[in-house]
Structures are given as structure tokens and as C-alpha cells.
């Protein structure tokens, strides 16, 4: 509660809700209608009665212009006290303090209370119809009006705070759901699609192999890739069903470090009949985990695209270079076949790889060359955001 009392929102000016505005207008119109009815019964409308009608009508201004309404009510109440020695309209102004407290800024609330106190003191000193107990009654009415208005102000402030918390919770849940969908899509693309590409390629080439060694390589690749794909599918199903915590890590497909990944991918490309080479000098200092992961995903994506879109490539080369606080990964394939299917700017995998690299403060280029395709990623050894690159959904 103390935090609420110190908040600026509690004491700032505010406007009524549309429904409250309508109710205030109805109340003001009702007061005006009743007083006009009394004047019609009496057969005349006195100047004091006109002042009263103006006060009741000005209550309707609180629906849209509370500060203006406060000034108008005070001026009319002062006229009724000073000019007509009447405190009935001063009491109405005191009760109107409820609306002032509920809507106006703190300085207006304070000025309004001081004005009511001054008018009450004037009525007590001057020869008016204010009784001896009048000042106490006026103070009590003003205090009750303040408490009612303040309770309304507190309730609306808490309601707004709860609404903001609800909206933030909805935004967080929406963002979490979106991130989880992205992680699932990444695993489907980066993992399962990669394994299925290998299965498809080797299953198509299996009937064409004449050497037992080639057949053994294809069969082994199909078996290993199908097992990994099944494991990933089970993991995704368990995550979707809520059986496991999301975002846990899978066993790496080609090793922990990027140097090992490059060596494995070079062998993988060689098993498809592509003359593949690599250059990835071992270093005693391993790369930061987000950088290592991002480069691994880039390398796997590039190798998968070569197998999928350019299976008849003449050669492929994967190179890893460290220099001047950066690490560069380059994958180049040479493919002079007329039927090679190369995406003009890359699909989801290239786009996601570029996004991961850029989130870490790096840059990436992927595009066609005169006789092939090149992917080049450069990352700082000290990533800008060490937790920016999301890992794929993994089984625990």
C-alpha cells in the first residue's frame, strides 16, 4: 500500500471511463430536472435557483473537463455564499469534492479543499444561515467526499496496474510460445531435415552402387541418420506434450567443437561423392559456446544445401580461420552442372543462420558464384550477447 501511495499514477489527473461519464451526465441531468421541477411548482425561478441549476449542470463537466468543472463549482458556491448568504450550495460543492478527488491533480484537490474551508469560515463569521455546528458538518461532509473519491482513485489505480500486469503476462506468454515454435521449427529444419536429406540422398544412390564399400557407407549413413531423426521427433513430441522441460540440449550430431564438426562434415560430403577438403586448425582455446554453436549451425546448413541442391558438385571446401579477435567460416562448392538447383537468396535455414550470426554481433553472406555457391560467416571471439543464439529443442 505504501508503494501505491508513493506512485505518481495515483496522484495524477485522470478521466472517467465511458460508462462513468454517462452516469455522471445522467446524475447532473437528474439534479437539473428536479430543481427545474421545484421551480415550476413554486411558480418562479430565483437568481439563487439559477446559480443552483448552474452548479448541478457543471457537475456534468466532470465527465470530460474535471479541472474546469472544479473552478466553475467553486465560483458558483462562492456567489451563493457571498451574494445570497446561502450555504446549501456550499454543501453541494463540498459533496462534489468526491468528483474532484477522483479525477483532478493533487494541486487542484488541495486548492478546492482550501477554498471550501475559506468559504465555510466566511459563512461562520458573516451573518449567514450557517448554524454553530455548521463548520463541523461542512468539514465532515468534505472529509467523507474526499474518502469516497480517494477510494475510487485507489481502486482505479490498482485496476490499471493489474491490467498492465495482465497485458505483460500475455505478452510474455505470447513471446514464449513464439520462441518455442521457432525452436521447434529450427530443430525440424536444422536437425531432422538434415538427417532426412542424407537418408534421401543415400537411398537414391544405393541401387547405383557397385562397390560393397560404397553400399556400406550409404547403409551406415541411412541407419545413423534415421536413428537421429527418430530421436529428434520423439523429443519434439515430448516437448509438445509437456513431458519434458523445453530448451534442453541434445547430443551434438558432429561433435562439441567446430573443428570436429568441420572434419565430420568434410567426411560426410566425401561420402556423397564430392571431393571435399577442409582447413580448421586445432586451437587450445575453444570458441565461446554461442559462437561455436552458431558456426556449427551455419556449417551444417551449408553442407545440407550442397547435398540437397548441388549433389553433383565437383568439389567443396570448408575453412575456419581465426584473426584479429574474429573467427571466419567459409564454405564454397564448385558445381558446373546445368541442372543444379540453387536458391537465389537462401531459404529459412540461411535466413535463420544469418539471424543467429547477427545477434552475436557478426555478419554473414550467402550467395552464388560463377561456378557454385559460397557461405561466409564472421563472428567476434567475444560475442555481443552470449545468450542471444537459441539452441534447438533437445530431448533431456
**Cα(178)–Cα(171) distance, integer angstroms:** 10
Q: 25-79, pLDDT tens digit by residue? A: 898 888 888 878 877 777 777 888 888 888 888 888 888 888 999 999 999 989 9
**Cα(181)–Cα(177) distance, integer angstroms:** 6
CB of 383 within 8 A of CB of 304? no
CB of 292 within 8 A of CB of 390? no
313 and 193 co-located in one domain: yes
173 and 120 co-located in one domain: no
**Cα(326)–Cα(349) distance, integer angstroms:** 23
348 occurs within a structural domain: yes
**Cα(286)–Cα(8) distance, integer angstroms:** 51
**Cα(247)–Cα(256) distance, integer angstroms:** 18
For position 213, which CATH number holds? 3.30.565.10
CA atoms within 13 A on the CB side of 214: 13
Closest CA relative to residue 327, chosen from 370, 380, 383, 265: 380
- The DSSP H or E segment spanning 372 is strand 372-380
223 occurs within a structural domain: yes
**Cα(42)–Cα(48) distance, integer angstroms:** 14
223 and 346 co-located in one domain: yes
At 320 the pLDDT is 93
230 and 123 co-located in one domain: no
Closest CA relative to residue 367, chosen from 327, 332, 315, 318: 332
At 196 the pLDDT is 85
**Cα(57)–Cα(70) distance, integer angstroms:** 12
360 and 233 co-located in one domain: yes
Q: Can you list the pairs that 226-232 forms with residues at least 24 positions away whose Cβ atoms lie under 8 Å?
A: 226/195, 226/199, 228/191, 228/195, 228/253, 229/191, 229/192, 229/195, 229/196, 229/199, 231/395, 232/187, 232/191, 232/192, 232/195, 232/395
Q: Residue 234 — pLDDT band, cuts 50, 70, 90?
A: confident
240 and 333 co-located in one domain: yes
- The residue from 130, 147, 179 where one domain ends is 130
62 and 176 co-located in one domain: no
Please give the model's pTM, rounded to 2 decimal places: 0.55
Buried b (16+ CB within 10 A) or exposed e, 102-125: bbbeeebbebbbebbeebbeebee
148 occurs within a structural domain: no
Closest CA relative to residue 87, chosen from 37, 127, 47: 127
CA–chain centroid gap for 227, Å, is 38
81 occurs within a structural domain: yes
Q: 99-137, pLDDT tens digit by residue? A: 999 888 888 999 999 999 998 888 888 755 665 557 888
SS (H, E, C) 11-25: HCCCCCCHHHHHHHH
At 376 the pLDDT is 94
83 and 192 co-located in one domain: no
Q: Residue 389 — φ and ψ, nearest 5°?
A: -95, 115
Count other Cβ atoms within 10 Å, centred on residue 316: 27
350 and 204 co-located in one domain: yes
Q: 235-277, pLDDT tens digit by residue? A: 777 767 765 554 444 456 666 788 888 988 998 898 888 899 9
Q: Residue 329 — pLDDT band, cuts 50, 70, 90?
A: very high
Range of the domain at 80: 2-130
**Cα(331)–Cα(260) distance, integer angstroms:** 15
Domains: count for the chain: 2
118 occurs within a structural domain: yes
205 and 290 co-located in one domain: yes
267 occurs within a structural domain: yes
185 and 72 co-located in one domain: no
CB of 191 within 8 A of CB of 228? yes
389 occurs within a structural domain: no
CB of 94 within 8 A of CB of 142? yes
360 occurs within a structural domain: yes
Longest dimension (CA), the chain: 123
- The residue from 130, 155, 187 where one domain ends is 130
At 147 the pLDDT is 92
283 and 184 co-located in one domain: yes
Amino acid at each position: 500500500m505504501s508503494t501505491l501511495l508513493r506512485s505518481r499514477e495515483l496522484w495524477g489527473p485522470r478521466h472517467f471511463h465511458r460508462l462513468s461519464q454517462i452516469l455522471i451526465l445522467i446524475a447532473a441531468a437528474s439534479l437539473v430536472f428536479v430543481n427545474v421541477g421545484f421551480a415550476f411548482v413554486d411558480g418562479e425561478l430565483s437568481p439563487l435557483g439559477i446559480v443552483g441549476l448552474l452548479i448541478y449542470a457543471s457537475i456534468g463537466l466532470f465527465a470530460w473537463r474535471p479541472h474546469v468543472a472544479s473552478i466553475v463549482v467553486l465560483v458558483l458556491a462562492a456567489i451563493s455564499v457571498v451574494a445570497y448568504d446561502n450555504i446549501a450550495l456550499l454543501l453541494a460543492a463540498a459533496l462534489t469534492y468526491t468528483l474532484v478527488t477522483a479525477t483532478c491533480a493533487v494541486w487542484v484537490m488541495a486548492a478546492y479543499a482550501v477554498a471550501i474551508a475559506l468559504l465555510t469560515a466566511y459563512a461562520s463569521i458573516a451573518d449567514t444561515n450557517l448554524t454553530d455546528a455548521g463548520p463541523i458538518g461542512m468539514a465532515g461532509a468534505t472529509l467523507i467526499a474526499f474518502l469516497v473519491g480517494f477510494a475510487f482513485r485507489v481502486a482505479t489505480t490498482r485496476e490499471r496496474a493489474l491490467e498492465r500486469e495482465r497485458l505483460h503476462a500475455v505478452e510474455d506468454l505470447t513471446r514464449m510460445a513464439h520462441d518455442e515454435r521457432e525452436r521447434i521449427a529450427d530443430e525440424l529444419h536444422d536437425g531432422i531435415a538434415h538427417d532426412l536429406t542424407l537418408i534421401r540422398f543415400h537411398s537414391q544412390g544405393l541401387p547405383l552402387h557397385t562397390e560393397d564399400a560404397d553400399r556400406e557407407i550409404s547403409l551406415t549413413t541411412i541407419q545413423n541418420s534415421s536413428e537421429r531423426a527418430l530421436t529428434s521427433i520423439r523429443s519434439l513430441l515430448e516437448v509438445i506434450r509437456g513431458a519434458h522441460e523445453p530448451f534442453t540440449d541434445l547430443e551434438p550430431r558432429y561433435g562439441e567443437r567446430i573443428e570436429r564438426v568441420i572434419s565430420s562434415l568434410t567426411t560426410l560430403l566425401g561420402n556423397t561423392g564430392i571431393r571435399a577438403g577442409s582447413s580448421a586448425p586445432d586451437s587450445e582455446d575453444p570458441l565461446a559456446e554461442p559462437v561455436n554453436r552458431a558456426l556449427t549451425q551455419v556449417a551444417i546448413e551449408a553442407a545440407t544445401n550442397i547435398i540437397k541442391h548441388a549433389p553433383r558438385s565437383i568439389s567443396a571446401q570448408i575453412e575456419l580461420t581465426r584473426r584479429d579477435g574474429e573467427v571466419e567460416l567459409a564454405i564454397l562448392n564448385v558445381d558446373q552442372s546445368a541442372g543444379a538447383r540453387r536458391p537465389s537468396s537462401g531459404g529459412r535455414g540461411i535466413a535463420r543462420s544469418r539471424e543467429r550470426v547477427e545477434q552475436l554481433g557478426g555478419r554473414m553472406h550467402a550467395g552464388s558464384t560463377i561456378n557454385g555457391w559460397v557461405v561466409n560467416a564472421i563472428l567476434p571471439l567475444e560475442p555481443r550477447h552470449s545468450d542471444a543464439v537459441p539452441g534447438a529443442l533437445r530431448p533431456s
